[in-house]
Amino acid sequence: MPTKQSNIVKRTLDLKKPPLLSAEQKARLNAVAAMPDEQIDYSDALGLPDAAWMKAAAELPHTKQQITLRIDAEVLEFFRHTGKRYQSRINAVLRSYVEAHKAQAK
């Protein structure tokens, strides 16, 4: 029986070795960085989350506890549509929320 081949390519970004930018890209980033927030055009941006915890943890912990959790149907559908391991992504978002609030409490 043939095995199903996936067209998904997983890429990770090593923040210690960021990709090289062209001189034009650097100039554009520097120009935006120098602008006051009020002058930056966000009209074409997708949803801008207000919470800093939206950046999910890059590495998931290995110790997990199975529970029953009730969440909004819309939230569940969103994560299910992201593909396999959607429960791990939900956990990563919750973990980053916890870490952000631990940092604020200090």
Please check whether residue 28 lies inside any domain of the structure: no
Q: What is the pLDDT along the chain (106 residues), one digit of tens a residue?
A: 455 666 777 777 787 888 888 999 999 999 999 999 888 887 777 665 555 455 555 555 567 888 999 999 999 999 999 888 899 899 888 988 888 888 777 6
The structure's pTM equals 0.42
The first and second tokens of residue 57, run together, are 């943890």
Report yes or no on 7 lying in a domain.
no
Structural domains counted in the chain: 1
57 belongs to a structural domain: yes
Query: Which of 83, 17, 89, 102 shows the shortest CA–CA distance to 56?
Result: 89
> Is residue 83 assigned to a domain?
yes
Q: Which domain does 58 fall in, by range?
A: 51-106
Residue 24 has φ and ψ, to the nearest 5°, of -65, -45
